[in-house]
Structure 1
Amino acid sequence: MAEPAIDRAKVAALAEERLDWRFKAVPPAAWGLTVREYLATGPTLDRLATPLLTLDAGALAHNLGTMAAWCAKAGVALAPHGKTTMAPALWQAQLDAGAYGITLANLPQLHVARAFGVREVLLANSLLDPGGLAWLAGELDRDPEFRFSCWVDSVAAVELMDRALRAAGAGRPVEVLVELGGPGGRTGARDVSSARAVAEAVAAAPTLRLAGLGGYEAALARDASPEGLSAVESYLAGLVELYFMLSAADLFTPGERVLVSAGGSAYFDQVARALAPLGGQDTTVVLRSGAYLAHDDGFYRGISPLVRATDEEPLRAALHGWARVLSQPEPGLALLDGGKRDFPHDLGLPEPQLAGRHLSGPELGGPARPLTGSITALNDQHAFLRDSDVAVGEVVRLGVSHPCTAFDKWTLIPVLDDVTADRPRVVDLVRTFF
């Protein structure tokens, strides 16, 4: 029987964590109860305080299935970027839906993944810390089912990795992918000839194994304009060229897997068209999209291929913020009790969607109603809502932009059965580890 992709018992044990003041989403009435005990009381949204961030169960399920089906149809594997949520329960759902593994970005995130027994990890970054490499070598030797690969983009980095792994007495070679970047981008060798030199250095290092190549196309484009899409196409053509160059030079180990990885959450359709033809008996094309699961009402709503370039039902926003009107100090201005410490703001400010009885209690009454107006600024703990018809004490539902900077503000996130219901029920609490 195949080993589980994640330690399901450890994920299940999160339901036994006892709730208290450490979790800002949890009301005092739940303190002292375990997650399981609290959910058994049948809590509803109106029992929670503001500010608040929630997930919608229906949207999560829809997005999970939509992306899995899309990848299967496109002929690519998916190792969703775990840094988006840092939530093992959500990682488990993605793995159960067919994900190849989990992508991570740094050593602390890798520690979390191993604590929950994740078996297949792609580190979309270089790992050069000597202590971290010694720990990794121990993990690989201790667990033969653990598969790990990371990026490298220079001969100097190869030499540092090899030296640290030799000093640690590493047994299993560490799999590395040569990273191709581009001018003005982030990390990555800046041209295919430089990337080949890195690959040759990896092949010569006894503690490493050249396991493929990868990179990040969204570092070279920030929108879906013709110019942005053209930059992505050009970059992907370079990855294809590099793949055939390394294959022709016999730098990949015969019979061992080869990974070709690209694809964030903005251009994975282009990535699949360009790279899927490389897939075969020994080569697996791996997307790393992570934001698709929660999606958003901002940046990804405007750029995701499963919104802008799909004939099927698009992704749905699963994340919502909730904030209460505290003050109306001047005409046309309302101050809400949620700010930068609660909601993402780096790729767009929250947008007001509804106001009314959600969370407000019967004394404010009335059905939820659509809101006009806009959030024009955030302070640490306040949002400036302008030109909106709200009353002091009402609660506003907010759409948010950029999931990657939403989850990290909350250690526990309530999951609602249906965010559109008159009285949504809390059906789960998602634990994050940032």
Structure 2
Amino acid sequence: MSASYDAAAVAALADQQVSWRDKALPPAFWGRTVADVLAGKPRLSELPTPLLTLSAPGLQHNVETLARWCTEHGVQLAPHGKTTMAPALWAKQLEAGAWGITLANVFQLGVARAYGVSRVMVANSVVSPLQLRWIADELAADPEFSVMVWADSVRTVEIMEAARAAHVDAGARQLDVLVEVGGVGGRTGARGAETALAVAAAVAAAPTLRLAGVAGYEGAIAHGASDEGLEHVRSYLRDLAAVHQSLKYDDGVVPVVSAGGSAYFEQVAQVLAPLAKEGARVVLRSGAYIAHDDGYYREISPLGLDPRTDGEQLVPAMHGWIRVTSQPEPGLAIFDAGKRDLPFDEGLPEPQLLRPRSADEHVRPVEGMTVTKMNDQHGFLRFPSDIPLVIGDELRVGLSHPCTAFDKWGLIPVIDDPAADDPVIVDLVRTFFS
């Protein structure tokens, strides 16, 4: 059963006024509500650069594609909400059948609570007593609210139990804990079955906690889709499954076995989906898939440019828009977007289209242009001398890595067609990163 959310709270985002804090919108729109701005059916040409946009059909396609893929492969989905931190996009994922929303920390959990998300997995250890007490209060206040946290050491379990035992009354709802299983070269997670089983035993013995399953992150185990790399992922997942199969859960607990970012979810289904026949709930946590990209995930996703599984391919649903502001040397253009505007950690922007210069022109694909460097607020574009690029030209660029794209924008326009001469703005998505 999919989680629920507060539809009224999400709908109320349209009543918020836009202002100078929203760099995606020009002064002409300041002081108006989101709904009022959208009622005027503004076009891309009315917005300033630099700009990040989302594609309405691309988002819908990606949400539906992975939801269908999960159903067909016997796994459930709790998409990682940290990618977008956008309750309106979480709502689309939940409406498509997502079992819950995954988040990375308690601040993000607070955003989820503000928008009524009923089931959340915090894919991290929570060791702050202040935060543990707040979670306890939320569980007490809302019987429909469900949250899971992770633990990868006995010390973590001791901290959680001590903080909760001093705060909750006898008989209070227990906090569900997943044992995090790590791998050599990975990030967090218990190293080795012996440590993982000790963590599980500590959780089971803690009166205010409940052992609810196992989890891990395979994305830190391999970087690439070589046969060797994929086997490293599968080996890690087999170890995670073995820990789960060694555990004894309380009666009535449907144990969660969770892994799966956006790079290797087909490996997760291959190794872990059979556990569902043994009574487990196998949950993917893919997040970046909703926007996909023209870089890292295009190359590595199981439903990317070189698919490793059945199903429709994902499509890039985010783009950058830049404007040439200087041509200080032959073959060099400086544009108005930098590291504070567009992602750069998994590849630089990729020039794709030149926007029309006048009403009687159309968008044109570009070739031979390369972004070579980005400063805080500027980018460097190299281009052949035979390309008639001039100051004031506007280009669409493909982007790499959604997780470091959304966090740069508090309000993101959604357009009807990223390949149109002058797309219509059909939505404005509010993000909550701070």
User: Structure 1-normalised TM-score?
Assistant: 0.96
1:48-87 aligned within 5 A? 48-87=47-86
* Deviation of 1:416 (Å): 0.3
Deviations 1:127-162 (A, max 9, x none): 111000000000000000001101100000000000
Aligned to 1:257: 254
1:20 correspondence with 2:22? no
Greater alpha carbon shift after TM alignment, 284-293 vs 307-316: 307-316
Distance 1:289 1:55, change over 3 A: same
* Deviation of 1:37 (Å): 0.5
* Structure 1 stretches lacking a partner, 5+ long: none
Q: Is the 8 A contact 1:256 1:282 kept in 2?
A: no
Aligned to 2:297: 300
1:366-385 aligned within 5 A? 366-385=362-381
Aligned to 1:176: 177
Q: Secondary structure of the equivalent of 1:242?
A: helix
Q: Is the 8 A contact 2:78 2:284 kept in 1?
A: yes
CA–CA distance in 1 between the matches of 2:202 and 2:289?
Answer: 36
CA–CA distance in 2 between the matches of 1:162 and 1:429?
Answer: 42
* Deviation of 1:316 (Å): 0.4
Letter aligned with residue 288 of structure 2? A
Letter aligned with residue 255 of structure 1? G
* Structure 2 stretches lacking a partner, 5+ long: none
CA–CA distance in 1 between the matches of 2:368 and 2:335?
Answer: 15
Letter aligned with residue 177 of structure 2? V
* Deviation of 1:367 (Å): 3.6
Aligned to 1:6: 5
Aligned to 1:120: 119
Aligned to 1:398: 397
Letter aligned with residue 408 of structure 1? D
* Deviation of 1:310 (Å): 3.8
Q: Is the 8 A contact 2:175 2:208 kept in 1?
A: yes
Greater alpha carbon shift after TM alignment, 166-175 vs 297-306: 166-175
CA–CA distance in 2 between the matches of 1:428 and 1:115?
Answer: 21
* Deviation of 1:183 (Å): 1.5
1:35-184 aligned within 5 A? 35-169=34-168, 171-184=172-185
CA–CA distance in 1 between the matches of 2:176 and 2:37?
Answer: 44
* Deviation of 1:38 (Å): 0.6
Deviations 1:357-402 (A, max 9, x none): 1xx5549x45433232211110001111112532111001110000
Letter aligned with residue 99 of structure 1? A
Greater alpha carbon shift after TM alignment, 365-374 vs 396-405: 365-374
CA–CA distance in 2 between the matches of 1:432 and 1:384?
Answer: 28
Q: Is the 8 A contact 1:175 1:211 kept in 2?
A: yes
Greater alpha carbon shift after TM alignment, 371-380 vs 191-200: 371-380
Letter aligned with residue 179 of structure 2? V
Greater alpha carbon shift after TM alignment, 169-178 vs 146-155: 169-178
CA–CA distance in 2 between the matches of 1:310 and 1:192?
Answer: 30
CA–CA distance in 1 between the matches of 2:365 and 2:273?
Answer: 46
Deviations 1:60-82 (A, max 9, x none): 11111110110000000000000
CA–CA distance in 1 between the matches of 2:174 and 2:204?
Answer: 11
* Deviation of 1:425 (Å): 0.2
CA–CA distance in 2 between the matches of 1:150 and 1:226?
Answer: 33
1:235-274 aligned within 5 A? 235-246=236-247, 250=248, 252-274=249-271
Aligned to 2:383: 387
Letter aligned with residue 257 of structure 2? V
Q: Is the 8 A contact 1:373 1:387 kept in 2?
A: yes
Aligned to 2:280: 283
Letter aligned with residue 21 of structure 2? R
Identity level (%): 58
